[in-house]
């Protein structure tokens, strides 16, 4: 558990930079690679000095074979030079945050990126690259050095550059088998000094992305998560102000997905942030179940809202036994914090002083995701891709098509509570306390009581052999061996045990300043 504390501590001290080589970055990169390789055969895209993106790992992991799958044919062929495709497309997206795979499930990739760059951002980046100033590119600051005389009108030579860049971006999407693009932005374009800097794929004036299914799930940016502390860590009181003029994005998704979520989509702007997160996560899961192609998930810059949903998907699919089957609770927590957040450039040193606790919220929302509606159940059913757009949806049409349930909101207004009823103890997998599909995968191994509020859990976790003890909870969770399990078996862990662990782990973020006398980072943790 100390390794997670060191990871969090390092994350609060610096934002990851691929050009910066130190023991913290090197240790995290090696550990993450080791964890991935337990369950996947991977290819590696070299980004050693940040040539592709300074805010991406020095080695971008691309799983090509799931060791637990009957299909052992590589997803990608060696004849494709993925790195060249990445290099050609890196300026097509904001801050050079190009499309890369981050999860691999049932032969499909879930990719991440930033949104598309417009000419206002591409112009200075291409200029710096041409002048050989790539090494001095800053990915943490907004672009402010744009030529004010440039009027933003696309000239023929500019369109040629656009065609090449966005063509390379589309090639990369096709290489990774992406069929749908999920946009989390609350605005359709980002304007700086009167010039369009970024825009969604839907606004491409030449409709280059017409072959992809567009899914718009507007989700608040990092500034909204200042409410986490203001609302005393109660997400049910967090509401976003959708009436702001910048919020011009509308919710849009295929009918075959929206109809499988029991909610009233007409009133999505009235939902609290937890309810919004629940329903969006269900849409992503239903897409993975019913569509044969993968998903690209992105927000504006791709390092706040995007890792939130990537992390929730990784933890949820792991809890279902669908990915990372050999990893323990401690290891999956380390993987998502280290890879999904830190190595992809989440700026925690900047977010914490501003009170923008989006990372904390990611783990705070986990107890609200335990129902069967969040269980991944693949389906071979073919769906028609008609589209739901709330701006033109009538209530009568919604009642006929979406199967609305007025009581759903009340059902989802649950407290963070891990109280379970004790049942007969199994000789093989501990206490079978729930009939939920999730608990059939990771059956509980302890009897739990309701934990205190997350922001009170600030004591450093003590270790005792193979057990992690939480003094404030008076709980003990046994940690299975980190060795690879035999094919077909699953770790004896429960989703609630994941919740307890991650809540305690992330609570150290709030009180990281109280952590003293940290010993040097143990680089050999995963070699023991």
Residue positions annotated with a catalytic role? 299
77, 53 in Cβ contact below 8 A?
Answer: no
Burial class (CB in 10 A: 0-12, 13-18, 19+), 5: middle
CA–CA distance, 329 with 337 (Å, rounded to integer):
12
CB 283 within 8 A of CB 387: no
Torsion from C-alpha of 141, 145, 148, 151, nearest 10 degrees? -70
User: How many other C-beta atoms can be found within 10 angstroms of the C-beta atom of residue 35?
Assistant: 24
Q: Which of 165, 162, 127 is nearest to 145 (CA)?
A: 127
Three-class SS state of 296: strand
H/E stretch holding 88 reads helix 82-89
Residue 100 three-state SS: strand
- Could you tell me the CA-to-CA distances from 475 to 76, 319, 431, 500 in Å, in that order? 45, 20, 15, 9
Q: Provide the 3-class DSSP secondary structure of residue 212.
A: coil
3-state SS assignment for residue 239: coil
Q: Pairing relation of β-strands 467-470 and 475-478?
A: antiparallel
Residue 485: name the closest of 38, 30, 90 by CA.
38
182: CB partners within 8 A, 6+ apart? 215, 217, 284, 295, 296, 297, 298
Cβ contact 495:317 at 8 Å: no
In this structure, the strands spanning 387-389 and 213-216 are unpaired
Contact 11, 341 (CB under 8 A): yes
CB neighbour class for 240 (10 Å; exposed up to 12, middle 13-18, buried from 19):
buried
**Residue 204, Cβ neighbours under 10 Å: how many?**
15
Distance CA 520, CA 367 (A): 33
């Amino acid at each position: 558990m100390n390794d997670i504390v060191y990871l969090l501590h390092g994350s609060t001290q610096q934002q990851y930079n691929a050009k910066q080589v130190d023991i913290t970055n090197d240790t995290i990169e090696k550990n993450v690679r080791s964890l991935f390789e337990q369950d996947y055969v991977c290819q590696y895209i070299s980004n050693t000095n940040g040539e592709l993106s300074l805010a991406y790992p020095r080695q971008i992991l691309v799983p090509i074979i799931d060791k637990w799958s009957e299909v052992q044919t590589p997803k990608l062929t060696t004849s494709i030079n993925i790195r060249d495709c990445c290099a050609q497309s890196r300026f097509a997206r904001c801050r050079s945050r190009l499309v890369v795979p981050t999860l691999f499930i049932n032969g499909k990739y879930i990719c991440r990126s930033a949104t598309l760059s417009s000419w206002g951002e591409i112009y200075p980046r291409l200029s710096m690259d041409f002048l050989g100033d790539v090494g001095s590119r800053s990915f943490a600051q907004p672009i402010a050095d744009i030529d004010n005389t440039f009027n933003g009108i696309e000239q023929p030579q500019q369109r040629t550059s656009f065609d090449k860049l966005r063509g390379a971006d589309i090639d990369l999407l096709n290489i990774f088998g992406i069929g749908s693009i999920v946009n989390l932005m609350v605005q359709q374009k980002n304007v700086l000094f009167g010039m369009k800097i970024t825009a969604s794929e839907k606004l491409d004036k030449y409709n280059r992305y017409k072959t992809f299914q567009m899914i718009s799930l507007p989700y608040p940016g990092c500034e909204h998560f200042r409410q986490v502390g203001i609302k005393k860590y109660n997400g049910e009181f967090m509401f976003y102000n959708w009436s702001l003029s910048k919020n011009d994005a509308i919710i849009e998704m295929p009918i075959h997905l929206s109809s499988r979520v029991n909610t009233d989509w007409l009133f999505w702007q009235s939902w609290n942030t937890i309810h919004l997160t629940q329903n969006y996560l269900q849409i992503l899961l239903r897409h993975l179940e019913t569509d044969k192609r993968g998903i690209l998930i992105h927000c504006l810059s791709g390092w706040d809202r995007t890792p939130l949903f990537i992390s929730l998907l990784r933890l949820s699919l792991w809890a279902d036994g669908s990915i990372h089957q050999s990893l323990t609770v401690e290891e999956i927590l380390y993987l998502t914090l280290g890879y999904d957040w830190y190595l992809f450039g989440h700026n925690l040193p900047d977010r914490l002083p501003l009170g923008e606790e989006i990372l904390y919220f990611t783990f705070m929302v986990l107890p609200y995701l335990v129902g069967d509606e969040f269980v991944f159940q693949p389906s071979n059913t073919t769906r028609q891709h008609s589209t739901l757009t709330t701006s033109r949806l009538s209530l009568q049409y919604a009642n006929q098509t979406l199967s609305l349930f007025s009581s759903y909101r009340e059902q989802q207004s649950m407290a963070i509570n891990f109280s379970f009823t004790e049942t007969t103890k199994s000789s093989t997998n501990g206490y079978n306390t729930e009939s939920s599909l999730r608990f059939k995968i990771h059956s509980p191994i302890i009897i739990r009581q309701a934990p205190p509020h997350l922001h009170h859990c600030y004591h450093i976790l003590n270790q005792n052999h193979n057990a992690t003890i939480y003094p404030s909870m008076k709980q003990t969770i046994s940690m299975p061996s980190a060795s690879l399990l035999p094919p077909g078996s699953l770790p004896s862990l429960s989703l609630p045990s994941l919740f307890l662990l991650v809540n305690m782990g992330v609570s150290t973020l709030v009180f990281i300043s109280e952590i003293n006398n940290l010993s040097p980072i143990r680089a050999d943790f995963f070699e023991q």
